[in-house]
């Protein structure tokens, strides 16, 4: 029985109790949201050593970190270090997007290296196995695709991106669409190319009921992928993106009827003034399914700083109802990130998520209140303890020392010190 099925029956599972305790909400409130499909709980029945994590409208905004090898760089140790660093700095989940090396071994190693839920994109493995055989990606058979999905589910991944909305109908629209960037989703493009080559329907859409059967067996959350997300600001909100979104909305409802947990993935590159409208539209179209966004990235001309662009978009998206932020690293659009890029990406995304969470949860706001009190007293030890990135805190304090109790920005001209001294003198 899935978390959704249990919730519909009025049952509170151990996973619900665990999540509710950590979120600071009642188990019954969580159960009701899960029953409606507005919140999902990540925990494959075969991934029994992982802490369950919830994403949805009654819990904190969560952050995911993408890691994984490429065909150019296969360094499994580096990817494990990235996963651990991502979790250290606040990643709630990890997605293994590996496309090079022994994908089965890499996936299993990552799953045992961290204690957070793991997501994957099975079509990547199906494509890689074709290339490893010296064949073209479009030579994948439907059986190849299904084998990859079943393998990932069986290995215990907690959620998987399936680009089920890339249908034959919407792919035909690509022929006449005038996009600046075209398609930027790897998995979505693999399927679109396959559909164009063979003239057949997307196997995951055509046999959606079978996908639901598999997901239900393992209680895998289906992350309905945005294969047609905009890869440039000028493409945001176009016919292709909207056509896929409405298809995903219908598929969410079918999944709920089958007892399968689902969430929906969103854009992409979106002008800042469109983010609120796009998130709200997605929520309406999918009956408030948890919404998982990449960024959104709010400008295209700052490569090397896309983690900042994405944090700006992510904060606005979360404020307007997005539930799950996929981090973006500084190397997005430029190359495979290293460990430091992962750290910077996570910190930026966590700032965006926390900025919204503190407006919803008293416990989150209290963290900032305590930091304010510590700053007001120039209590550096307390500020250190409350800091989310303690290493960076110490690094800057050592690089920029001061002879006063204030910091080196103002020294003995520190406004806080001056007013505190004045008030203390008046009391004396």
Residues in the annotated binding site for [4Fe-4S] cluster: 407, 410, 414
Binding site, residues?
66, 95, 124, 163, 185-187, 226-229, 265, 269, 292, 333, 407, 410, 414
Binding-site annotation, residues for Zn(2+): 269, 333
SS3 (DSSP) at 93:
strand
Q: DSSP class of residue 184?
A: -
Write down the number of H helices and E strands in the chain: 19, 10
Which positions ≥6 away from 56 have C-beta within 8 Å?
33, 34, 38, 39, 40, 290, 323
Separation of first and last alpha carbons in the chain: 69
Tell me how many degrees the CA angle 96-340-306 measures, rounded to the nearest 5. Answer: 80
How far apart, in whole angstroms, are the C-alpha atoms of residue 413 and residue 202? 66
Distances (CA, A) of 140 to 72, 124, 128, 358: 22, 11, 10, 47
Q: Which two tokens stand for residue 220?
A: 């895998």
For the annotated binding site for substrate, the residues are 66, 95, 124, 163, 185-187, 226-229, 265, 292
- Give the pairing of strands 221-224 and 324-326: unpaired
CA 259 from chain centre, in angstroms, equals 23
DSSP code, position 46: T
SS3 411: helix
B/e letters for 337-360, b = 16+ CB within 10 Å, e = fewer, are bbeebbbbbbbbbbbbbbbbbbee
């Amino acid at each position: 029985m899935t978390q959704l099925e249990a919730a519909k029956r009025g049952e509170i599972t151990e996973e619900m109790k665990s999540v509710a305790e950590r979120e600071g909400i009642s188990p019954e409130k969580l159960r009701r949201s899960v029953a409606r499909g507005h919140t999902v709980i990540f925990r494959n029945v075969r991934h029994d050593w992982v802490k369950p994590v919830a994403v949805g409208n009654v819990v904190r905004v969560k952050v995911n970190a993408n890691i994984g090898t490429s065909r150019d760089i296969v360094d499994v140790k580096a990817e494990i270090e990235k996963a651990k660093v991502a979790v250290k700095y606040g990643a709630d989940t990890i997605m293994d997007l590996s496309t090079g090396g022994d994908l089965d071994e890499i996936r299993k190693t990552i799953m045992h290296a961290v204690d957070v839920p793991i997501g994957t994109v099975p079509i990547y493995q199906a494509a890689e196995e074709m290339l490893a055989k010296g064949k073209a990606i479009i030579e994948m058979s439907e059986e190849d695709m299904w084998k990859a999905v079943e393998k990932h589910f069986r290995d215990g991944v907690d959620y998987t991106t399936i680009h089920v909305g890339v249908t034959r109908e919407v792919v035909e629209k690509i022929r006449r669409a005038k996009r600046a960037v075209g398609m930027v989703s790897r998995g979505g493009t693999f399927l679109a190319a396959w559909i164009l080559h063979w003239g057949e329907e997307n196997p995951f859409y055509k046999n959606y009921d079978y996908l639901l059967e598999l997901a239900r067996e393992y209680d895998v959350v289906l992350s309905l992928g945005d294969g047609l997300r905009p890869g440039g600001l000028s493409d945001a909100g176009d016919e292709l993106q909207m056509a896929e979104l409405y298809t995903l909305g219908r598929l969410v409802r079918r999944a709920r009827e089958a007892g399968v947990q689902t969430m929906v993935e969103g854009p992409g590159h979106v002008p800042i003034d469109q983010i609120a409208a796009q998130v709200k539209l997605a929520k309406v179209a999918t009956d408030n399914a948890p919404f998982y966004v990449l960024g959104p990235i709010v400008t295209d001309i700052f490569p090397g700083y896309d983690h900042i662009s994405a944090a700006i978009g992510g904060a606005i998206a979360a404020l307007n109802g997005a539930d799950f932020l996929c981090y973006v690293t500084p190397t997005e659009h430029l190359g495979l990130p290293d460990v430091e890029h992962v750290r910077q990406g996570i910190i930026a995304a966590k700032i965006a998520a926390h900025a919204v969470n503190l407006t919803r949860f008293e416990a989150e706001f209290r963290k900032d209140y305590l930091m304010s009190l510590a700053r007001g007293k120039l209590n550096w030890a307390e500020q250190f303890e409350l800091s989310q990135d303690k290493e960076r805190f110490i690094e800057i304090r050592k690089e920029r020392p001061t002879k006063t109790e204030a910091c080196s920005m103002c020294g003995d001209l520190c406004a806080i010190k001056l007013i505190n001294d004045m008030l203390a003198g008046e009391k004396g």
